[in-house]
Amino acid sequence: HIGVPDPLSFEKGLEQLPELRAVVFKHAEAGVPFAVVEQCLRHPRITSLSFAENSDWSAWAYTAIPRRPAEESYPNSLEQLSYASFPWKIARASYLHLDYRKEDVAEASVLVPLIFGMHLSAVSLSFPAELVPLARMAELPWPRLRDLTLTGRYSHASQASSVTWLVNVMQSPRSLSIQVGQLEDCPRPAVLLESGSTAMRALESLTLAYPDPDDAIFTVAGTSLKHLSLRDYPRHYVRHLFSHLSEIRGLAMPILSSSECLRILSRMSMPRLEHLELVYEGDDSEEELLIHITSAYPHLASLELHQYGCRP
């Protein structure tokens, strides 16, 4: 659906689509009314909701629109939920003299109850880390959760350690993507602390931004991996953009070196790997890294390399 949906007309439209299974909201700049979300949740077939970054609830911080639900958990049977905030909200707030913290509160007031309410049915989740209390989320059972994508930025250091607990409660992850802005006082937080803590035999896709080369996840993941991305988020070059200085202030951006990439890949057995993305700073091991890539992955069909020159 494009634009802010009117609850009455939207409900009539749903009545004409009894087999509808997924709804995607785009360009709803004023936010999708919760009455519309409730209509989707009542629909007998809809199990997937997606909100594009131009359809978040940040605008509710500056309006009198009543926010529902007020309770901590809003029980529902959704299997997939994807919610994207505007990625440069701090820079936008600085430019427009707004308070991005109020926006976070407005978004979280609706998003958190939805996520907590689907803990028994969720298969796939994607959301900004700063909006959801990850420690409380990790206390809930997630028996069906297989795909987890975290975006945004950490609001405090304890959130990073909560990711470890959250991954640990996933019984058989299929896809993990942790692209969250890291704090200067907590760079390269590990996803797994112990190699035997989580079953990763079914993991097919792994995306990590500014990863720790010694993360235990690189020991247990690999044999079923088809997609591996060791990248940067925010992009490493953003640190040179004046327009984004307010956004990256306080963030760590510890890019991998060629040597660290080689150390990670050498620890992993990935006979099924089809796509590989690496973002790194070149050093004396770059040639050895490239030789390893060309010889170790017989099924590799896509290779994406972002190389930054050595710092003087």
Alpha carbon of 103 to those of 91, 108, 138, 297: distances in Å?
13, 9, 24, 45
> 184 and 90 in one domain?
no
> 142 and 110 in one domain?
no
> 226 and 114 in one domain?
no
- Give pLDDT tens digits for 196-217: 656 788 999 999 999 999 999 9
> 250 and 106 in one domain?
no
Q: What is the reported pLDDT for 86?
A: 83
> 114 and 235 in one domain?
no
pLDDT at 312 over 70: no
Both tokens of 160, joined, read: 């990073």
Which are the contacts of 298, defined by CB distance < 8 A and separation ≥ 6? 271
> 131 and 114 in one domain?
no
Nearest to 211 by CA among 192, 183, 180, 190: 190
pLDDT at 87 over 90: no
pTM, full prediction: 0.92
Both tokens of 301, joined, read: 């069909």
SS3 of residue 30 by DSSP: coil
Q: What is the reported pLDDT for 196?
A: 63
> 131 and 109 in one domain?
no
> 236 and 146 in one domain?
yes
Q: What is the reported pLDDT for 277?
A: 98
- Which of 100-109, 122-131, 239-248, 282-291 comes out lowest in average pLDDT? 239-248
pLDDT at 195 over 80: no
| Torsion angle of the four alpha carbons 231, 108, 248, 243, in this order, in degrees rounded to the nearest 10 | 110
Q: What is the reported pLDDT for 30?
A: 87
Both tokens of 131, joined, read: 């909006």
> 180 and 50 in one domain?
no
Q: What is the pLDDT averaged over residues 175-187?
A: 94
Q: Name residue 253's amino acid.
A: M
> 114 and 129 in one domain?
no
Residue 243: pLDDT band with limits 50, 70, 90: low
Q: What is the reported pLDDT for 248?
A: 80
Q: What is the pLDDT averaged over residues 267-274?
A: 95
> 133 and 107 in one domain?
no
- Give pLDDT tens digits for 96-151: 888 888 888 889 999 999 999 999 999 999 999 999 999 999 999 999 999 999 99
> 175 and 44 in one domain?
no
Percent of the chain with pLDDT over 90: 67
Alpha carbon of 281 to those of 88, 232, 291, 295: distances in Å?
25, 11, 17, 21
What is the number of domains present in the chain?
Answer: 2
Q: Which domain holds residue 47?
A: 1-122
Listed residues 98, 122, 146: the one ending a domain? 122
